[in-house]
């Protein structure tokens, strides 16, 4: 069971009641690594050929920013420094508030949910689970909304009946979750054990597509849960494999001709060209609460085995996606570049699916 960092800990409550000047100093410190990780996110997720082209550009940018920073420091007079120190003291009197979700406007919902998130912008969402009714207890409905005042609807998902394996349909219409409907945008399919999942878009099966595969479906993600019978190995461990990004920050299309050429088999056979490997961040064991903890920065409030954060091995501070419980049937889902809404929602749906071999 994941315990939220700071929950059920009297010492952490005392820390939260420290002087406001300490809070402002922590905010400035924590903001620095985020800026660095965001700036380097493009090269981190690009394919190998595109990374080399952008290395020189990044070095030049770093040199220019360093020169500018030095010039700005020398220009600050003593009086300006005094004013800045006064402002910092004044900030301490205000209560620390959770940053609101960025304002997001789109004209085409289907296009928006398939596009990678804009770099530097965290898309904050909520997932609600509807289990009311006899049918829905076994096949709940899941809804994804933007976590803003309007609660803008994005996606809906539901587990298909009479399927040999777990199979979820994803739609841009909360009332139309049919496979042949116009609002169908993707699906999530598992293996027999429920330990591996593949995310597809709404295009055709390769067997029914054109010979050049121009209208064949794309594989958007592969999710692998490490086997962990009775939870003997500790918290869940998961790996997420997604297509790489090109120099224009667009997703590299991955259209396998058959299942033997799929994303998961490519990863298994170490054919990782144009692929990105992500993992869930390892939680830290807390001796006092006797539980594993992760810092969700106030976005998650209840302990759950489903709580997780997805990161890249090269930058553990850059949270690609985080998911966690805030009520019995309400969860927060936040994602960043290079994920899109369909990928993030499908990863969340995979965590809801029952996994006998994983816990």
- Token code pair at residue 347: 């990863």
The pLDDT of residue 342 is above 90: yes
Where does the pLDDT of residue 286 fall: very low under 50, low under 70, confident under 90, or very high at 90 and above? confident
Mean pLDDT over each residue of the chain, to the nearest integer: 79
Using DSSP bridges, classify how beta strands 219-225 and 196-201 pair: parallel, antiparallel or unpaired. Answer: antiparallel
Q: Can you tell me the distance from the alpha carbon of 120 to that of 126, in angstroms, rounded to the nearest whole number?
A: 20
Measured CA to CA, the distance from residue 147 to residue 97 in angstroms comes to 16
Query: Which comes out higher in pLDDT, residue 6 or 270?
Result: 270
Question: What gap in Å lies between CA 342 and CA 325, rounded to an integer?
Answer: 19
Pairing of strands 308-312, 315-327: antiparallel
Q: Confidence class of residue 163 from pLDDT cuts 50, 70 and 90?
A: confident
Say whether 98 sits in a helix, a strand or coil: coil
| Lowest mean per-residue pLDDT among 97-111, 200-214, 245-259, 340-354 | 97-111
| Main-chain phi, psi angles of 16, to 5 degrees | -65, -20
Question: pLDDT, tens digit, for every residue of 54-108?
Answer: 555 555 555 555 555 544 444 544 544 455 444 444 444 443 444 556 778 888 9
CA angle 139, 196, 125 (to 5 degrees): 60
pLDDT of 109-131, one tens digit each? 999 999 999 999 999 999 999 98
Predicted confidence at residue 252, as pLDDT, reads 94
Phi, psi (deg, nearest 5) at residue 113: -70, -15
Q: Name the band, by pLDDT with cuts 50, 70 and 90, for residue 156.
A: very high
| Strand duo 291-294 + 2-4: pairing | parallel
**What is the phi/psi pair of residue 137, to 5°?**
-70, -30
Residue 283's contacts (CB-CB under 8 Å, 6 or more residues apart) are 2, 235, 292, 293, 294
Q: Please give the structure tokens belonging to residue 258.
A: 């058959």
Quote the crossing angle between the two packed helices 78-91 and 20-39, to the nearest 10°.
110
Specify the DSSP element, H or E, that contains 42: helix 41-45
Cβ neighbours around 265 below 10 Å, total: 14
Report pLDDT digits (tens) over 296-333. Answer: 999 999 988 889 999 999 999 999 999 999 999 999 99
Query: Which pLDDT value is given to residue 240?
Result: 97
Is residue 105 a contact partner of residue 331, using CB atoms and an 8 Å limit?
no
Instruction: Pick the closest to residue 159 from 181, 142, 174 (CA basis).
Output: 142
pTM of the predicted structure, to 2 decimals? 0.75
pLDDT over 70 at 232, yes or no: no
pLDDT tens digits, residue range 235-255?
789 999 999 999 999 999 999
């Amino acid at each position: 069971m994941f315990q939220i960092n700071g929950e059920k800990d009297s010492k952490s409550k005392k820390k939260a009641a420290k002087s406001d000047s300490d809070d402002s100093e922590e905010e400035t410190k924590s903001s620095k690594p985020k800026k660095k990780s965001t700036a380097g996110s493009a090269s981190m997720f690009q394919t190998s050929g595109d990374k080399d082209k952008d290395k020189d550009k990044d070095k030049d940018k770093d040199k220019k920013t360093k020169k500018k920073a030095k010039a700005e420091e020398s220009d600050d007079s003593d009086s300006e420094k005094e004013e800045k120190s006064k402002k910092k003291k004044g900030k301490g009197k205000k209560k620390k508030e959770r940053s609101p979700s960025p304002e997001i406007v789109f004209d085409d919902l289907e296009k928006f949910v398939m596009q990678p998130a804009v770099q530097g912008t965290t898309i904050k969402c909520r997932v609600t689970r509807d289990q009311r009714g006899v049918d829905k207890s076994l096949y709940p409905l899941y809804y994804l909304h933007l976590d803003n005042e309007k609660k803008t609807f994005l996606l809906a998902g539901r587990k298909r009946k009479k399927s040999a394996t777990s199979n979820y349909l994803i739609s841009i219409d909360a009332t139309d979750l049919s496979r042949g409907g116009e609002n169908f945008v993707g699906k999530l399919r598992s293996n027999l054990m429920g330990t591996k999942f593949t995310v597809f878009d709404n295009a055709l099966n390769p067997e029914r597509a054109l010979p050049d595969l121009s209208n064949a479906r794309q594989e958007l993600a592969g999710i692998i849960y490490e086997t962990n019978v009775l939870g003997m190995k500790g918290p869940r461990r998961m790996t997420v494999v997604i297509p790489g990004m090109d120099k224009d920050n667009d997703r590299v299309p991955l259209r396998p001709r058959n299942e033997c050429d799929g994303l998961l088999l490519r990863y298994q056979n170490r054919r990782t060209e144009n692929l990105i490997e992500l993992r869930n961040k390892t939680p830290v064991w807390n001796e006092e609460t006797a539980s594993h903890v992760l810092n969700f920065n106030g976005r998650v409030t209840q302990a759950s085995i489903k709580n997780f954060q997805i990161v890249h091995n090269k930058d553990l501070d850059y949270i690609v996606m985080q998911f966690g419980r805030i009520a019995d049937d309400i969860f927060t889902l936040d994602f960043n570049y290079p994920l899109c809404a369909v990928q993030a929602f499908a990863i969340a749906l995979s965590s809801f699916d029952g996994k006998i071999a994983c816990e």
